Amino acid sequence: MFNNKELFKSAFKEQLVSRLGKDIEEATAGDIYKILGTLIREFIGREWAETNRSYMDQQEKQVYYFSMEFLIGRLLGNNLLNLGMLRTVREGLADLGWNLEEIEEQEPDAGLGNGGLGRLAACFLDSLASLGYAGHGCGIRYRFGLFEQKIIDGHQVELPDDWLQKSNVWEERRADKRVEVRFWGQVEVAEKDGKTQFNTVNYEKVWAVPYDVPVIGYGDSQVNTLRLWSAESAMDPARMGLEVQNSYYKFLEYNRSVESISEFLYPDDSGYEGKILRLKQQYFLCSAGLQSVLRTFDKLELPYSELPNKVAIHINDTHPTLVIPELMRILVDDKGLGWDEAWDITTQTVSYTNHTLLSEALEKWPVNMVRELLPRVYMIIEEINKRFCGMLLDRFPDGQDLVSKVAIVESDQVKMAHLAIVGSYSVNGVAELHTELLKTNVMKPFYDLFPDRFNNKTNGITHRRWLIHANPELSNVISETIGTWWMKRPHQLLGLETFKEDSALREKIMKIKRSNKLRLAEFIRQKQGVMVDPDSIFDVQVKRLHAYKRQLMNILHVMYLYNDIKDHPSVDRVPRTFIFAAKAAPGYYLAKSIIKLINVVANTVNKDPQVNSKLKVLFLENYSVSLAEKIIPAADVSEQISTAGKEASGTGNMKFMMNGALTIGTLDGANVEMHQMLGDDNMFLFGLTSEEVLNYYKNGEYIAKDVYQKDPRIKRVMDQLVSPGPFCCHEREFNLIYQSILEHNDEFFVLKDFDSYANTHDTIDQVYLNTPEWATKTIVNIAHAGHFSSDCTINRYAANIWDIRPVRPSLHV
């Protein structure tokens, strides 16, 4: 049906009538989307069941990727691409009078993540399925994803992301697979047959109901599963004796508290302190996910000692660390294993990815909170801690200092990263630099104890979504040049290097970039009524708003450019369009005022006739996966300008590179590896190195005020933040920003790196004027971007951490 246009059209029209009672003439875009999605979902149903059956029959080792976030975006286009149906469907719909891109716009983004960490999980699922691995996702079906951002009067306003308002065509509710999750209560200890038994009583029971989403691999691969859990009431109103005084209110209160568990995704950095609901969410995911994993394992009828050979559980950051004590609880309390055996099994089954070195982002939970909400799990954490510290003191009799540094429970807090390292067999960082810093700084005592556990797996992105689907014209030109093999083997993009000076290819690439820029310009015109020049340099910084990512340095530089143009109006310049998009965590006031500042600057710059033919600034609201897919193919310059040592990897950097943008960046995260491949010629590096940053932190020799006093460009823009002028505003509007730099001594070295940053932008202007040279650099970037496909990353996780191989290699060339 999906390989033959005429068959597709007739099947489609028939479905429209039988399901919606509509003819094609009456159908809306929403109807078309719904019918198309449902058709595909049903079409792959058999393959999905077949995949699951073959995994069971062959007793294949399964990987379960536990993550509190899956930033999936839309699925229609990607599923069509992976199924090889894109063309038939596009042409079939066109015959029926519909444009596929317009239909894709009907799908709400599944925004179940904050940023890079959640998007990584989504890219990994795509690669696992496409490479033929038995790997599944385990997450939460948040009723509301990350908030929708509106910019009103320059300010960020947060609205609920009601993504499930209409039915979700991809998910399958599996009520028969629900499991029970327990909170609160008290632990009773009893002796039975010479064994100590732990029984939790008076607990609150909640149903976890799975919603399964098929993860369709590219080509003839299998269909894996993303299982998202939803919390439901486990109280039967008919058996509650509601006639008793007040019990009706108790019932309502219970229901409300249950529903809140999977109600919304916590924004990053919202200050988890006291957020018991977040802890509840984490345990809910871990307990439900583990029960379902073990239920599948139990069907194999193997002893639990076989678990590490049949199951790998990976935790995406520390958020799902409770799988460790929860697995211990199940093995010891429910399955009757001894502690040591259970511990061996657990620590051979769980592996952990660290995503951050920022101390404020390392999760800690107050002991009281964990003990009350999860009494038995807390006892197990204490026991793990006791044994771990005991082991250390055996090995190092004077090791009190060491113990206080590495203890899992310390100062009335449970340190999740410590628990994750102690309870797993593999700890990986997400870029070479990040892993080195983990080993030598933040987690050094653990590295000294367990050197073999630490390893690096540099992040990646799926080239299917971020290149083939997001930039089809570029993909076609690549295939015309080197054949289509790169789609299955992204490393083959390297073949483009040979053509880096081929003038025909250079011209084609620049033409495609221009056409992508025109499309984005039209989108901007429609959204904001601002006209942007497609021949200006599109300079883009899109990512979550964080002080360490230094959107502030970018906008201060724009303010300086504005001043410079006003001072020298007749000087010729290469026109620039600076494009920003970013969400700020709702409670992160500094980040929010940086958004306001960008919007104020945009307003001033874009309205000034002396300036606006040379300089434009745009802030596009509601950054999301689908917005990223529109923006990135149109970028000339990619801003990856975090303070060195702060960005664990970055994946935005890889998406831009793959779409032929040139990077202006610091030696941070995966930029370092990009630079190793590209060299100085194909990337614009600037700023302090991570070592220099660390030295300044140590010796305190950086004084932001000195830089402010000495550099008149900097003094002027800083003063413009707080005094009347082109960018300010009612009084002291940007005080917070001003103080963060001058009073709190510029923690992220914005002023320190400013000069080097500004000079590098001048270099970019010069290089851009030489179009053939720019085109060559673009080609070199694309050629090396295959290295950052998540296919490569996943192959390394599979071989070096999970010990799994593709299931049906015969199908996958």
Ligand X SMILES: *Cc1c(COP(=O)(O)O)cnc(C)c1O
Task: List, in order, residues 6 or more apart from 146 with CB less than 8 Å away.
Answer: 71, 111, 112, 113, 114, 161, 265, 267, 583, 624
Q: Does 652 bind ligand X (CB under 6 A)?
A: yes
Q: How many CB atoms lie within 10 A of CB 525?
A: 12
* The two structure tokens encoding residue 344: 């061996």
State the Cα–Cα distance between residues 416 and 381, nearest whole angstrom.
Answer: 10
Closest distance to ligand X from the beta carbon of 551 (Å): 11
CB-nearer residue toward ligand X: 132 or 652: 652
- The least distance separating ligand X from the CB of residue 377, rounded to whole angstroms, comes to 32
Residues 679, 671 contacting (CB under 8 angstroms): no
Nearest to ligand X of 457, 543 (CB atom): 543
Stretch that binds ligand X, among 140-148, 205-213, 304-312, 622-630 (CB under 6 A): 622-630
Q: What is the SS3 assignment for 186?
A: strand
Closest distance to ligand X from the beta carbon of 660 (Å)? 17
573-612 footprint of ligand X as x/- string (CB under 6 A): ----------------------------------------
Site residue total, ligand X (CB under 6 A) = 13
Is there binding between residue 543 and ligand X (CB under 6 A)? yes
Per CB under 6 A, 643 contacts ligand X: no
Q: How far is the CB of 638 from ligand X (least distance, A)?
A: 9
Which CB atom, from 370 or from 581, has the smaller least distance to ligand X? 581
Q: Can you spell out the DSSP letters for 137-185?
A: EEEE--SB-SPEEEEETTEEEEE---TTSS--TT-EE-GGG-EEEEES-
Nearer to ligand X among residue 52 and residue 78 (C-beta): 78
Q: With beta carbons less than 8 A apart as the criterion, state whether 436 and 428 touch.
A: no
Tell which one of 650, 660, 665, 687 touches ligand X (CB under 6 A). 650
- Considering only 208-216, 651-659, 764-772, 804-812, which stretch makes contact with ligand X by CB under 6 A? 651-659
Nearer to ligand X, 490 or 534 (CB): 490
Question: C-beta of 119: minimal distance to ligand X in Å?
Answer: 4
Stretch that binds ligand X, among 272-280, 330-338, 647-655, 772-780 (CB under 6 A): 647-655
Tokens of 452: 């073999």
Helices 750-769 and 712-722: crossing angle in degrees, nearest 10, is 110
Q: Which of 281, 349, 353, 651 binds ligand X (CB under 6 A)?
A: 651
Minimum distance from residue 522 beta carbon to ligand X (Å): 21
Q: Of 37, 77, 108, 115, which one interacts with ligand X (CB under 6 A)?
A: 115
Task: Tell me, residue by residue from 470 to 509, as one string, x for binding to ligand X by CB under 6 A and - for no binding.
Answer: ----------------------------------------
145 binds ligand X (CB under 6 A): no
653/676 Cα distance (integer angstroms) = 14
Taking the complex as a whole, the smallest distance from the CB of residue 554 to ligand X amounts, in Å, to 13
Contact call for residue 119 and ligand X (CB under 6 A): yes
Dihedral (Cα; 806, 354, 267, 207), 10-degree rounding: 60
Nearest residue by C-beta to ligand X?
A: 652
Task: Considering only residues 217 through 256, tell me which ones interact with ligand X, judged by CB under 6 A.
Answer: none
One of 78, 624, 659, 671 touching ligand X (CB under 6 A): 624
739 CB-near residues (< 8 Å, 6+ apart): none
| Cβ atoms of residues 111 and 162 within 8 Å | no
Q: Which stretch binds ligand X (CB under 6 A): 46-54, 507-515, 650-658, 736-744?
A: 650-658
* Cβ distance to ligand X smaller for residue 221 or 462: 462
35: left (phi over 0), alpha (psi -120 to 50) or beta: alpha
Q: CB 537 → ligand X: shortest distance, Å? A: 19
Report the 3 state secondary structure along 689-739: CHHHHHHHHHHCCCCHHHHHHHCHHHHHHHHHHHCCECCECCCCCCHHHHH
Asked whether the beta carbons of 333 and 296 are under 8 A apart, the reply is: no
Which region among 112-120, 189-197, 249-257, 519-527 touches ligand X (by CB under 6 A)? Answer: 112-120
Pick between residue 623 and residue 727 the one whose CB is nearest to ligand X.
Answer: 623
Extract the tokens encoding 195: 């064994």
**What element of type H or E holds 772?**
helix 771-785
Annotated catalytic residues are: 355, 543-544, 549, 651, 655
The residue within the footprint of ligand X, chosen from 121, 223, 625, 737 (CB under 6 A), is: 625
Residue with token string 């600034």: 617
One-letter amino acid for residue 208 of the chain: A
Q: Which is nearer to ligand X, 89 or 120 (CB)?
A: 120
What are the Cα distances from residue 330, in Å, to 211, 334, 336, 777? 23, 5, 8, 55
Among all chains, which residue has been given the structure tokens 């992508």? 516
Is residue 645 part of the contact set for ligand X (CB under 6 A)? no
**Interaction with ligand X in 313-332: which residues (CB under 6 A)?**
none
CA distance 538 to 90: 30
Q: Is 116 one of the binding residues for ligand X (CB under 6 A)?
A: yes
Q: Which stretch binds ligand X (CB under 6 A): 53-61, 179-187, 623-631, 789-797?
A: 623-631
Residue with tokens 């797996």: 457
CA distance 395 to 406: 14
Residues 173-202: x where in contact with ligand X by CB under 6 A, - otherwise, as a string: ------------------------------
- What stretches of 240-395 show up as alpha helix (H) in DSSP? 247-261, 276-298, 307-310, 323-329, 339-349, 367-373, 375-395
Q: What is the largest CA-CA distance in the chain?
A: 93
Q: Which part of the chain contacts ligand X (CB under 6 A), choosing from 10-18, 523-531, 620-628, 690-698?
A: 620-628
Q: Which residues bind ligand X (CB under 6 A)?
A: 115-116, 119, 543-544, 623-625, 628, 650-652, 655
